[in-house]
Structure 1
Amino acid sequence: MKLLTANDRYIARKIAIPLIATLVIAAMLLVLDQMLRLFDFVAAEGGPVGIVFRMLANLLPEYFSVAIPLALMLGILLAFRGLATSSELDVMRAVGFSYRRLLRVPYFYAFGLIAVNLTIVGYLQPYAEYYYEQLQFDLRSGALGASIKVGQFNKLGDDITLRVEQSRDNGTDLSGIFVDVGTKKGEHFTATAQSGQFLSTADPNLLLLRLRNGTAIQQSPNFEGTRVLTFRMQDLPIDLPAMKQFRLRGGVENQENTFFELLRVANDPTYSKETRDAAFANFNFRAVELAVMLLIPLLALSLAVPPKRSSSALGVVISVVLIVTYHKVNEFGEGVAALGRVSPFVSLWLPFFAFAALIIWMYYVLAYVPGGQPIGAIEKRFEKFGKWLRRRFKFGQRDKKHEAAA
């Protein structure tokens, strides 16, 4: 017996298109939402534009972990809704395909995406979160060559003040330069230059600032007066300030811990009770977000089949609202459990079992109750509400016409 029949492959193709489209669109919308904020942040820190895309790449695992359950839901729902509205679903049911049998392909998708999401939230996302924070730290500290802010006076160590009017190609093309260098011996060097550039040296802790076409003023206890000179090229050695090292990954930063590391922190008595509670809450949050994906095929199928002689898309709206609301409930539950006010089994798993009971009841009504329609009553109420709104709108327009005529 074949594992997948021609009918299963047909359903698989129906699911694939909206699933992939939803996944890509949701991820891109989240990326675009962050892109403008990151451009502003990098510009304010004076960093190179390429850092924005490196930071966005480290945000992708988090975005995909949120988008995958929603994509799975809409992929299955839109596929079966299309089958239902075109009466193909009725034909499949008439030739002997039960709803339980029709769920074979959706669960293939579900188990595959659960494995992908487990890899993301259990391993990729913690490392990506750490590298994202490290990029932010390096950007603020100047380790990425981002400490020179155009149009401002920049302190390079204790002795050098630098200001540039324009900077192109990440510091390799500077113009409108002012530099002031002082030493503990009382020597002073002040210069302005038309252009210049930073050059690397064999010493990783030393940079060379090459100035071109400028004027300099030198003062020293060894000079009788102040020296003024013009130059076509002048090299200034600049000692790089010692950079602070970024912290190690994980520990009390739960978002940067993998699954097994969260359990280790939660059971390590060397950590404070608050840290252990937060780690255990985050572990259960990730687990419950994965577990709910097992229920998504049942929920999607229950909301996909509209009542007879109805083409309403209310099920699509309800599905998105339910998934987003449940995710927010889990975030709240994690926050409460992290504070130690309640056990994660109460704040996270109790809502999960309540949500599971609702989904199983909806599927049971659709699959086993003759003429059962889980969203039929909701659609009727929305239809009545829409008619009431239309009547009110028409009456309002009539009243305005009568007032205008009067």
Structure 2
Amino acid sequence: MFNFIPSIDRYIFRLVVVPMLGVFALAASLLLLDKMLRLFDFVAIEGGPIGVVFKMLGALIPEYASLAIPLGLLLGVLLAFRKLATTSELDTMRAVGLSYWRLLRVPYAITLVLVAVNVALVFYVQPLSRYYYEQMEYELRSGALGASIKVGEFTTLADRMALRIEQSEDEGRRLIGIYARVSNDREQTLTISAQEGAFLATSDDPDTIILRLTEGTIIQDTGSETPRVLSFSRHDLPIDLPKIEEFRARGDASREYILPELLSIGWADKSSTKSERDASQATFNYRLVEVVMMLLMPLLAVALAIPPKRSTSALGVFVSIILVVAYHKVNQYGEDVATLGRIDPIVALWGPFFLFAALILWMYYRTAHVPGGQALGALETLFAKLSKKVSKLFARRKPPSLLADHSADQAAEKDSRLAPAE
């Protein structure tokens, strides 16, 4: 099926795709795990169902994917060319006339596909998923997801009932140790205690639920000296649910706008305020520079992938991660400043882009067109010197017993070489 593709391209494709997918999975997993711990704490505090945690994480996947895709592309190409360089395969390919630009044919084909995916994510999917995430967070805080009654604490419902539940089992379907104090319209107070209970929905009124109590006691305070005491084996207590306001419409923040909305508010809509135009233009330019920068990732990867001759230094891997993360943070800062209207979005976001692009092109030119050129030549030399000093420092700190044993072994080996043969 793929016989029309040269074997060298298929080989480079395999070298790039495997680490790229691994970086995708690793980066997305780390980001999701960090957020998962915070969401579990948040949902536990609000008393919500555990299932909402995974729904909220699913809504964050497009946002984290837009960060993991450029990093995965960079490290996938970098590790592929680093393997070619350390195994001398790159020298062989160069010797038979294959240029760096020819070897980058497959990485750039992969880049164009990932750019299209990232455009769909950052301009369409991510704004909608972010709004969905904010909506679930609001519903969790307001109690719309059933997260209103906390075990072991008094909860006020409809300003006329105080409810306390000692223990909850079977995911809230069985309540143990129930205490309630209810005030009615006739200024009478009911104090109710029950061994067990369960919440039941009603089909007649969606704003009312039934708390079915079993094996309990009702004390009715009628205003007289002797209250009325009733025992029951089962009692249904209606509870009015609090009114929950509807969540706001999408567009409270510019990051929730899709591409046509950003263009309309930022340039076409004359009725929008200056702050809205600044925020829309800043968000549009931020998303755009993040996507366009992906086109330079293969060049940066090649420039940082090739270590000095007779060296397996991995300094380029660390430098590449630092550069990409630092550039992303600079863009975030530029978007924030441009949103406030303190600087033009073109200057705040495209200025760092052109500086970073010029640095990448210079590094690639040094690697691909200067004989023996290294993009990180000075850093590699400094790193090698520091490594030698650190190794000598640790060698000096060996325990005296180990040094003595090592000296004794060397002396014994020397005597054995000097002894005459029998």
TM range (shorter): over 0.9
Which amino acid in the other structure matches residue 266 of structure 1? G
Comparing 268-277 with 120-129, greater Cα deviation is found at 268-277
The corresponding residue for 1:286 is 287
Q: 1:118 to 1:300 in 2, by over 3 A?
A: same
Offset of 1:64 from its aligned partner?
0.8
Q: Secondary structure at the match of 1:123?
A: helix
Write the distance in 1 (CA, Å) between the matches of 2:97 and 2:354.
32
Q: Please say if 1:261 is aligned against 2:265.
A: no
Write the distance in 2 (CA, Å) between the matches of 1:313 and 1:151.
55
Offset of 1:159 from its aligned partner?
1.2
The correspondence of residues 178-197 of structure 1 with structure 2, limited to 5 A, is 178-197=179-198
Write the distance in 2 (CA, Å) between the matches of 1:45 and 1:170.
15
The correspondence of residues 143-158 of structure 1 with structure 2, limited to 5 A, is 143-158=144-159
Write the distance in 2 (CA, Å) between the matches of 1:192 and 1:397.
72
Q: What are the superposed Cα offsets for residues 215-270 of structure 1, whole Å, 9 maximum, x if unpaired? A: 1112347x8952101111000111212111100111x4112111221222223343
Offset of 1:177 from its aligned partner?
0.4
What is the number of residues matched between the two proteins?
Answer: 398
Q: Secondary structure at the match of 1:210?
A: strand
Which amino acid in the other structure matches residue 135 of structure 1? M
The corresponding residue for 1:272 is 273
Q: Please say if 1:219 is aligned against 2:215.
A: no
Write the distance in 2 (CA, Å) between the matches of 1:398 and 1:392.
13
TM-score by length of structure 2 reads 0.90
Q: Secondary structure at the match of 1:145?
A: coil
Write the distance in 2 (CA, Å) between the matches of 1:48 and 1:397.
56
Write the distance in 2 (CA, Å) between the matches of 1:13 and 1:395.
45
Q: Secondary structure at the match of 2:185?
A: coil
Write the distance in 2 (CA, Å) between the matches of 1:210 and 1:393.
71
Q: Please say if 1:19 is aligned against 2:39.
A: no
Write the distance in 2 (CA, Å) between the matches of 1:352 and 1:190.
68
Q: 1:115 to 1:341 in 2, by over 3 A?
A: same
Q: What are the superposed Cα offsets for residues 179-199 of structure 1, whole Å, 9 maximum, x if unpaired? A: 111122223221100000000
- Structure of greater Rg: 2
The corresponding residue for 1:403 is none
The corresponding residue for 1:66 is 67
Which amino acid in the other structure matches residue 253 of structure 2? E
Identity %: 55
The corresponding residue for 1:108 is 109
Write the distance in 2 (CA, Å) between the matches of 1:114 and 1:355.
18
Offset of 1:329 from its aligned partner?
0.8
Write the distance in 2 (CA, Å) between the matches of 1:167 and 1:389.
58
Q: Secondary structure at the match of 1:288?
A: helix
The corresponding residue for 1:159 is 160
Offset of 1:96 from its aligned partner?
2.2
Write the distance in 2 (CA, Å) between the matches of 1:226 and 1:337.
68
The correspondence of residues 3-402 of structure 1 with structure 2, limited to 5 A, is 4-202=5-203, 203-220=205-222, 225-250=226-251, 252-267=252-267, 268-391=269-392
Contact 2:85 2:91 in 1 (8 A): yes
Which amino acid in the other structure matches residue 262 of structure 1? L
Comparing 116-125 with 268-277, greater Cα deviation is found at 268-277
Write the distance in 1 (CA, Å) between the matches of 2:399 and 2:221.
88
Q: Secondary structure at the match of 1:295?
A: helix
Which amino acid in the other structure matches residue 137 of structure 2? Q
Q: What are the superposed Cα offsets for residues 326-350 of structure 1, whole Å, 9 maximum, x if unpaired? A: 1111111111111111111111101
Write the distance in 2 (CA, Å) between the matches of 1:187 and 1:116.
64
Which amino acid in the other structure matches residue 212 of structure 2? R
The corresponding residue for 1:402 is none
Write the distance in 2 (CA, Å) between the matches of 1:260 and 1:395.
65
Write the distance in 2 (CA, Å) between the matches of 1:181 and 1:118.
56
Comparing 109-118 with 161-170, greater Cα deviation is found at 161-170
Contact 1:73 1:296 in 2 (8 A): yes
Contact 1:155 1:162 in 2 (8 A): yes
Q: Secondary structure at the match of 1:150?
A: coil
Offset of 1:395 from its aligned partner?
6.1
Q: Secondary structure at the match of 1:352?
A: helix
Which amino acid in the other structure matches residue 105 of structure 1? V
Write the distance in 2 (CA, Å) between the matches of 1:300 and 1:345.
27
Write the distance in 2 (CA, Å) between the matches of 1:394 and 1:139.
58
Q: Secondary structure at the match of 1:197?
A: strand
How large is the RMSD of aligned CA atoms in angstroms? 2.1
Q: What are the superposed Cα offsets for residues 112-147 of structure 1, whole Å, 9 maximum, x if unpaired? A: 111111111111111111111111111111101100
Write the distance in 1 (CA, Å) between the matches of 2:170 and 2:287.
43
Comparing 54-63 with 256-265, greater Cα deviation is found at 256-265
Contact 1:145 1:170 in 2 (8 A): no
5+ long unaligned stretches in structure 2: 401-422
Q: Secondary structure at the match of 1:149?
A: coil
Comparing 49-58 with 371-380, greater Cα deviation is found at 371-380
5+ long unaligned stretches in structure 1: 400-406
TM-score by length of structure 1 reads 0.93
